[in-house]
Every structure is written in C-alpha cells, then in structure tokens.
Amino acid sequence: MAVVDLSGKVVVITGGARGLGAAAAQAVVDGGGRVLITDVLEAEGAETAAKLGDAARFLRHDVTSEADWQAALEYAVAEFGRLDGLVNNAGISTGQFLEHESVEHFRRVVEINLVGVFIGIKTAIPLLRANGGGSVVNISSAAGLTGLALTAGYGASKWGVRGLSKIGAVELAEAGIRVNSVHPGMTLTPMTAPVGIQAGEGNYPGAPLGRVGVPEEIAAAVVFLLSDAAGYVTGAELAVDGGWTAGLTVKYLTGQ
C-alpha cells in the first residue's frame, strides 16, 4: 500500500488498540509520523504501541471524560512536542430494533460515539491552533450516510459525527484546522468478527465490490486526510464502503 508522507506530524488516535485504530496508527508511523494511541483496552493498546517502536506511545483514555482528554493531549505534546492531528476512532457498535432499545443503552452509545468526539475536538482546538492548524478525522460509518436497521443508537451517533464534522470544518477553517469524516462500510475487525463476516471476494454481495473491507483500506483514507496532500479538503464525508452506500448492486436487482 502506498505510504502517505506524515513526516514530523504528531497524531492522537483514540480506540487505537486494535482494528481500524491500530491500522491507522501503523499507517501514521509508516508515513514518518509519531502517534499516541489511546484506548480503554490497556494490554492490547500497550502491545500495539510496543510493536510500533519509539514513534508510538500508549495511554489509557476514556473518551467520555474531559479530564482524560486533557491528560491525553497534554501527554502527546509532552512526549512529542506538538499536536498536528486527531483521529476520533473510539466507539462501540451494538444495537437492536428501535422499539426494543433501552434508553440507558442508547445514551451509552451516543455518549461514547458522539459526545466523546465532541470533547476531543473541543480539547484539541487550542493545541492545533497554536501549531497554525492541523487535521481532525472523525470515524463515522456507512450507517451515518443511510438508514440501517438495528442501529438506533449507533446510527444516530454516526449521523451526529457526520454533522459535527461539518460544523467543525466551517467554524475552524480560519484557524487552519481541517475537519473531515470517514465512513467505513462493513470491515473485518475484532468488533465486527462476532457477526460472522469473512474477508475475500464474493463474501459481501450487498456491496458493489462484493467483499468486506480490511482495516488497512480505511487507514489509507485516514492518513490521506491527515496529510498535507488533503490541504484543500475539509467538511468532506469520505465513504470507504465498497460502494455500499452508492446503491443496489446489479446482482441484487437481477438475481444473477
């Protein structure tokens, strides 16, 4: 996979212990950047950072906590001297039919997936502004581009991330801070593995490309948006979903 130039950049990635976050952290380091991985999964996060070497650090971080956010971003600056990018990747994906969804569960999903993103952006603004700008990449979902059954809290939170990203893009452009959202489709990660998806051609006929994604493909979109190559890109919503949100497949329509 092509390497995007992130030389000299320092990026914080939440939910970076495994899956999409770990792949994004690897891509940042491959591009010459340095990364602080944060997560509540301490053992896995520490292991991921160790594999990446001196260019990576790990810190336990609850994204719903303002104090944890402040500590995480201050730690990144203390370790690496600056902050250039933030990837709001931490999230949970569980749900059921709307009429059976509990208020307690709905609130928990929104608190992690949306409120956590809000706190992160808010906390990062002064540090990015001090650097003359930077890039915020918010991981939404294909479920944030269309209605998807069984995702009342998750889908609502990901639509919220999409909207919050556009608001941030408009408000922060004068500070040189770009804000974009990435919308992965079905991707093979530890979070999605329990539903039985499989990688490889033909294993996901609902998407025009006919397969599920892999974390590295999502990471490639993330590091592009973090890089100077995306210097004129802000307020965008980048679907990385094999065409799933583009429309129905020919196979679906014809039965062939």
Phi-psi region of 79 (alpha: psi -120 to 50; beta: other; left: phi over 0): alpha
- Closest by CA to 184, choosing from 101, 94, 89, 79, is 89
User: What single letter denotes the amino acid at residue 124?
Assistant: A
Report the SS3 class of residue 201: coil
> Which among 154, 204, 232, 252 is annotated as catalytic?
154
Q: What angle do CA 58, 85, 153 make, to 5 degrees?
A: 80
User: Whose CA is closest to 220, among 195, 238, 208?
Assistant: 238
DSSP for residue 85: E
Contact 45, 37 (CB under 8 A): yes
- 3-state class (DSSP) for residue 158: helix
CB 117 within 8 A of CB 124: no
> What DSSP string describes 105-143?
HHHHHHIIIIIHHHHHHHHHHHHHHHTT-EEEEEE--GG
Whether 75 sits among the annotated catalytic residues: the reply is no
List the catalytic residues.
154
